[in-house]
Amino acid sequence: MGLKDKRSNIKHGKYSRVLVLPASIKIGEKSTLAANRLVLVDPRGEIHEDDLLQFLEKFVEPDFWSWVKTKEGEKG
């Protein structure tokens, strides 16, 4: 179902970095993304970037950080 991986960020140009996606992911001509601390990417470019940002800010970011605090509490 999902994929997990650790990738190097490659310098591209003067200010940018590139994250190379695994070959197993279906990729379109363009990708859309929303980012802050986490990055949410649609590699096919089928989801509008405004929708990705709204989803990231409303659901992913808040739930992720509360989950991280729970995990830290379990460790220590």
Closest CA to 44 of 25, 58, 67: 25
Closest CA to 20 of 1, 5, 35, 32: 5
Condensed to tens digits (0 to 9), the pLDDT of residues 21-76 reads 999 999 999 999 999 999 999 999 999 999 999 999 999 999 999 999 999 999 87
Q: Looking at the predicted structure, is the pLDDT value of residue 1 above 90?
A: no
Q: How far apart are CA 12 and CA 23, in angstroms?
A: 20
Q: Looking at the predicted structure, is the pLDDT value of residue 16 above 90?
A: yes
pTM over 0.95: no
